[in-house]
Amino acid sequence: MEGSKNTWIVALIASVFVIGGLGMGGYGMMGFGMGFGFLAMLLIGGVLVWLVVSLAGASGRGEDALAILKRRYASGEISKKQYDAMRKDVAP
The answer to whether 41 touches 22, Cβ cutoff 8 Å, is yes
- Report the percent of the chain where pLDDT is more than 90: 15
> Has residue 79 got a pLDDT over 50?
yes
Q: Which domain holds residue 12?
A: 2-59
Q: If we measure between CA atoms, which residue out of 67, 65, 59 comes closest to residue 4? A: 59
> Has residue 25 got a pLDDT over 60?
no
Residues 53 and 66 in one domain: no
Half-sphere exposure of 66 (CA within 13 A, CB side): 6
Query: How many structural domains does the chain have?
Result: 2
Residues 87 and 48 in one domain: no
User: d(Cα 40, Cα 21) in Å, to the nearest integer?
Assistant: 13
Residues 6 and 51 in one domain: yes
Q: If we measure between CA atoms, which residue out of 4, 37, 3 comes closest to residue 22? A: 37
When pLDDT is cut at 50, 70 and 90, the band that residue 4 belongs to is low
Residues 54 and 11 in one domain: yes
Residues 8 and 46 in one domain: yes
**pLDDT tens, residue by residue, 51-75:** 888 777 665 555 688 888 999 999 9
